[in-house]
Structure 1
Amino acid sequence: MPIPDSIPGVDRTLLRDDVFHRLRDAIVAGAFLPGEQLKDGELAEWLGVSRTPVREALLRLSASGLVVTRPGRSTTVSEIDPRAVRDARDVVAAMHVLAVREMAGKLTDAHVEQMRAANRRFAAALDAGDIAAALDADEELHAVPVAALGNRAIESVLDQFGPVVRRAERDRFLEDGRASHERHDRLIDLMSEGDVAAASAVTFETWHTLSVDRWSATTRH
């Protein structure tokens, strides 16, 4: 039958990305635990989509290191690998330092307020014991300079490796949330003042306070 020109087709790119982001966020939030098997049929039913975008999303998650895919066998959520976390942390830190260095002193008042509002939500989430909300607020805060810079290469790298770090950050915010809130405040002030060197140093410190020692110990045992 003829297809009416007036009805737009489904944007498969948006569907594919939405499935990827929902599965990624579920893993980062701990809804799917390390070692848990992911079945594309069950995931497709849960998300209300066909198996094709689910399989594509799982391949992307495998490239990010969040799942382990064995063709013809199974796909499972990866264990937290200390070396993978360390490598991802160092890359993510470098990208954020670059964005901060480029944007310190150049953010608009609206950008600065967006960061402050995110940090207030971060503190409130910590008070409520809502680590998922704290992770979301933290991500929003650090995304402001990145988005303002508009460097697609940086955004692409963070999209791939950021989730590996985010999953590991859950434990850090349980133990070190208040210190993170204070570092956020310092970073925002320094960005607003245009102190490039100090803002870059705080950014580097912020990401490198994520230690991989606990997972290294688990791996040895």
Structure 2
Amino acid sequence: MPVPSGPPAASRSLLRDDVYRRLRDAIVDGTFLPGEQLKDAELAEWLGVSRTPVREALLRLGASGLVVALPGRSTRVSSIDAPAVRDARDVIAALHAFAVRQITGRLTEDDLDRMRQANDRFAEAVTAGDVDAALTADEEMHRIPITALGNQAVATVLDQFDPLVRRAERLRFTTDGHTSVELHTRLIDLLTTGDPDAAADVAFDIWHTLPTP
């Protein structure tokens, strides 16, 4: 679809990371469709920024596999490539399992409560068929142990590959996300009781319930 018209939803003081997140989210939620050409001048006008942060964001999106740049020609939204999604999913699953194993026993009651609340919002969104809300709540819940771990290398790799998987994950939450609700609950229970190996196994399994295209 064309770049949305009208005033940008974000302020003109967007930083580079903000521009990246806006464009990333627009690809993940289907605002920009596979194969659609992305012109930095049009994107800059839409976001109310200069072309420089847009170009930098497109480079990052290319590294994540969300766009494909053809030198001297154009930048287009990538198609959902099954092998690439599987590779990204496997990396994400392994890193979440690693993080959960390391952080079990170290999460605060507030951390665990926030995970429960996010999972409750996720369950409500799945039942209501609100895919955007489900993805937001799911990401929030999984981000809590990652943030608590404080391993910047893990966070950086997840930030790179997570959007590729999230785009495919929309398909699952469109059809059935109730299995994820149950697995989330099991994960939180294991984190609460302090069983790192079992928690890591569940964290790993959560990501492998994702059907690849």
**TM-score, length of structure 2 as denominator length:** 0.92
User: What is the CA-CA distance between 1:71 and the residue it aligns to?
Assistant: 2.0
SS at match of 2:107: coil
Equivalent pair of 2:105/2:194 in contact (CA under 8 Å):
yes
* 170-179 vs 146-155, which moves further: 170-179
Q: Which amino acid is 2:23 matched to?
A: L
Q: Write the letter of the residue equivalent to 2:123.
A: A
Answering whether residue 157 of structure 2 is matched by residue 179 of structure 1, we say no
* Partner residue in 1 for 2:114: 114
CA distance in 2, matches of 1:31, 1:162: 18
- Correspondence 1:128 to 2:145: no
Q: Counterpart of 2:4?
A: none
Work out the number of aligned pairs and report it.
201
Q: Deviations over 1:131-182 (max 9, x none)?
A: 0110010000001110001000000000000111111100111223011001
Instruction: Report how far residue 127 of structure 1 moved.
Output: 2.1
Distance 2:148 2:41 in 1: 39
- Displacement, 1:210? 1.1
> 1:120-199 to 2 correspondence within 5 Å?
120-199=120-199
Q: Report the Cα distance in structure 2 between the residues aligned to 1:130 and 1:38, rounded to whole angstroms.
A: 27
User: Is 2:82 aligned against 1:90?
Assistant: no
Partners of 1:172 and 1:195 in 2: CA distance: 28
When normalised by structure 1's length, the TM-score is 0.88
SS at 1:157's partner residue?
helix
Question: Partners of 1:211 and 1:143 in 2: how far apart?
Answer: 21
- Rounded Cα–Cα distance in structure 2 between residues aligned with 1:195 and 1:174: 32
> Quick check: 181-190 or 124-133, which moved more?
124-133
Work out whether residues 126 and 176 of structure 2, in 8 Å CA contact, stay in contact via their aligned partners in 1.
no
Shift of 1:44: 0.5
Q: State which structure, 1 or 2, has the greater radius of gyration over its C-alpha atoms.
A: 1
Shift of 1:128: 2.0
Cα distance in 2, alignment partners of residues 17 and 116 from structure 1: 28
Q: What amino acid is aligned across from residue 135 of structure 2 in structure 1? A: L
- AA paired with 1:148? A
Structure 2 unmatched ranges of 5 or more: 1-12
Amino acid in the other structure paired with 1:118: A
Identity across matched positions, percent = 67
CA distance, structure 1, for counterparts of residue 148 and residue 100 of structure 2: 10
Q: Distance in 2 between matches of 1:26 and 1:47?
A: 12
Matches within 5 A, 1:31-70: 31-70=31-70
Q: Distance in 2 between matches of 1:105 and 1:30?
A: 39
Per the TM alignment, residue 30 of structure 1 is displaced from its structure 2 partner at its CA by 1.2
Q: Is there any run of 5+ residues in structure 1 with no aligned partner, and where?
A: 1-11, 216-221
| Whole-angstrom CA distance in 2 between matches of 1:120 and 1:33 | 30
- Distance (Å, rounded) in 2 between the aligned partners of 1:94 and 1:176: 23
Inter-partner Cα distance in structure 2 for 1:52 and 1:123? 40
SS of residue matched to 1:105: coil
Is 1:200 matched up with 2:200? yes
